[in-house]
């Protein structure tokens, strides 16, 4: 990423685990009252490093984000960096939770839980036991991480050969960096089972299955680039249109929501992006983005129809290429991408949903 810090004041709505984390550290949180009377807690970041926000997302502490953009042309690179960090954070979270679910359903994990009912995996008592084991076997743990990285690289290269996909050196290096980040985010349950059973036949199969799962998730990395380019093109158009009509250029708010709670990734990890030139920003903090998107009136069109309408049916708009590349990339890895555009009397709204 190019940005050292983001100066945009970014508001976060936290998950339950995120609220618990910050409240336990006496962090003052903002309170948001929802439409149904429930309350959510959040905080605001400013002049923050990309890695700090990405870590919160990857750890499952963030449910919703609000990122303001005053000038999407001047801040184009920042917007691209921001979308990438959000999408990679979602990818790390997805990988972490998928690995946790796999580890907890492994026969040896179930065996451990039966024999140790007071320290079942996932409990606070288990974490104490796991930390003690990790402290005693620091060298083995580091060797396990190195071995897993090598296994992931081997499986990933095999997947690329299967689909006859040529990957440039820069993309391979990016995949290696992503692998290391995923490995660092893996939960303690994964390593605990590894250290106890790595020398058995079941343990070796467990290692290979974990590597295979991470390698398959790595295929999503290309999508983040296309998604970031598409979103920044949409933002530039929305603010450029404002200036063309001689109206005051308004701040655009990029709203993001992660709709899958930690530990429940069976149906996929969904990331929803919402761009609006109307007052929906304030409503979006109070409700799920799906509800907001449905409640806005006006004509609804596909993203492709939207681009063709603003260019008189031309196929030359770069946004159309990004939509096409993104759809092809999603289809290649089995991901889902949905989009819609609404034109209303008090502004327009663009809705993008990506599901891993």
- What is the per-residue pLDDT for 57? 95
Give the start-end residues of each E strand in the chain.
Answer: 10-14, 30-33, 39-45, 62-69, 252-258, 270-276, 299-301, 336-344, 347-355
Over pLDDT 70: what percentage of the chain?
A: 76
Domain ranges, ordered by start, for the chain: 10-92+221-355, 105-218
**What is the rounded distance in angstroms from the CA atom of residue 150 to the CA atom of residue 146?**
6
Q: Are 182 and 97 in contact (CB under 8 A)?
A: no
Reported confidence tier of residue 330, pLDDT bands at 50, 70, 90: confident
Judge residue 134's burial from the number of C-beta atoms within 10 Å of its C-beta, 0-12 exposed, 13-18 middle, 19 or more buried: middle
Q: Which of 83-97, 124-138, 299-313 has the lowest mean pLDDT?
A: 299-313
Q: Is the pLDDT of residue 319 over 80?
A: no
Distances (CA, A) of 57 to 87, 99, 198, 272: 9, 17, 30, 14
**What is the rounded distance in angstroms from the CA atom of residue 143 to the CA atom of residue 150?**
11
Q: Is the pLDDT of residue 245 over 60?
A: no
Give the mean model confidence (pLDDT) for residues 237-243.
Answer: 66
Write out the two tokens for 200.
């058995």
Question: Any residues with CB less than 8 A from the CB of 72 and at least 6 apart, and which?
Answer: 79, 232, 235, 236, 238, 239, 252
Task: Pick 14 or 306 by higher pLDDT.
Answer: 14
Task: Pick 162 or 226 by higher pLDDT.
Answer: 226
- In tens, the pLDDT along 69-88 reads 888 899 999 999 999 999 99
Task: Pick 304 or 114 by higher pLDDT.
Answer: 114
- In tens, the pLDDT along 28-50 reads 898 876 555 667 788 889 899 99
Give the mean model confidence (pLDDT) for residues 184-207.
Answer: 91
Q: Are 329 and 336 in contact (CB under 8 A)?
A: no
Write out the two tokens for 19.
């609220």
Task: Pick 336 or 352 by higher pLDDT.
Answer: 336
Q: Is the pLDDT of residue 61 over 90?
A: yes
- In tens, the pLDDT along 110-162 reads 999 999 999 999 888 999 999 999 999 999 999 999 999 999 999 988 887 77
Q: Is the pLDDT of residue 188 over 90?
A: yes
Q: Which residues pair with 48 in a beta bridge?
A: 6
| DSSP structural state of residue 119 | G
- What is the per-residue pLDDT for 260? 62
Instruction: Select from 313, 320, 276 the least CA-distant residue to 298.
Output: 276
**55, 227, 15, 112 alpha-carbon torsion, rounded to 10°:** -70
- What is the per-residue pLDDT for 343? 57
- State residue 61 phi and psi, 5-degree precision: -95, -10
Q: Which of 141-155, 285-299, 300-314 has the lowest mean pLDDT?
A: 285-299
- What is the per-residue pLDDT for 262? 41
Look over the chain and give the mean of its residue pLDDT values, rounded to a whole number.
81
- What is the per-residue pLDDT for 263? 42
**Within 13 Å and on the Cβ side, how many CA atoms surround 87?**
27
Give the mean model confidence (pLDDT) for residues 201-213.
Answer: 91
- What is the per-residue pLDDT for 200? 87
Task: Pick 197 or 300 by higher pLDDT.
Answer: 197
- What is the per-residue pLDDT for 267? 56
- What is the per-residue pLDDT for 177? 92
**294, 235, 32, 340 alpha-carbon torsion, rounded to 10°:** 10
Write out the two tokens for 29.
């949180």
């Amino acid at each position: 990423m190019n940005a050292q810090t983001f100066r945009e004041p970014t508001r976060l709505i936290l998950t339950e685990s995120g609220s618990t984390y910050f409240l336990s550290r006496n962090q003052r949180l903002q309170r948001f009252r929802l439409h149904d009377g429930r309350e959510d807690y959040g905080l605001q970041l400013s002049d923050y490093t990309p890695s700090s926000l990405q870590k919160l997302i990857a750890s499952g502490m963030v449910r919703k984000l609000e990122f303001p953009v005053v000038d999407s042309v001047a801040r184009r690179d920042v917007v691209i960096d921001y979308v990438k960090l959000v999408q990679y954070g979602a990818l790390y979270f997805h990988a972490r939770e998928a690995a946790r679910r796999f580890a907890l359903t492994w026969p040896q994990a179930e065996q451990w839980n039966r024999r140790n009912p007071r320290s079942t995996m996932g409990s606070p008592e288990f974490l104490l036991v796991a930390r003690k084991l990790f402290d005693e076997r620091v060298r083995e743990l580091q060797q396990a991480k190195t071995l897993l990285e090598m296994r992931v690289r081997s499986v990933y290269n095999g997947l690329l050969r299967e689909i006859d996909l040529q990957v440039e050196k820069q993309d391979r290096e990016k995949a290696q960096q992503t692998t290391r980040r995923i490995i660092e985010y893996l939960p303690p349950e994964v390593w605990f089972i590894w250290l106890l059973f790595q020398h058995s036949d079941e343990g070796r199969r467990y290692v290979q299955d974990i590597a295979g799962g991470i390698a398959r998730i790595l295929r999503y990395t290309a999508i983040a680039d296309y998604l970031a380019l598409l979103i920044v093109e949409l933002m530039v158009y929305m603010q450029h249109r404002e200036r063309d009509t001689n109206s005051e250029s308004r701040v655009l708010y990029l709203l993001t929501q992660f709709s899958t709670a930690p530990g429940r990734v069976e149906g996929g990890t969904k990331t929803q992006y919402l761009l609006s030139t109307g007052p929906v920003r304030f409503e979006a903090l109070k409700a799920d983005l799906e509800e907001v998107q449905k409640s806005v009136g006006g004509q609804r069109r596909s993203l492709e129809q939207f681009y063709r309408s603003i260019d008189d049916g031309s196929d030359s708009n770069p946004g159309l290429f990004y939509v096409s590349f993104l759809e092809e990339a999603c289809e290649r890895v089995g991901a889902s991408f949905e989009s819609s555009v609404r034109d209303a009397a008090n502004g327009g709204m663009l809705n993008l949903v990506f599901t891993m």
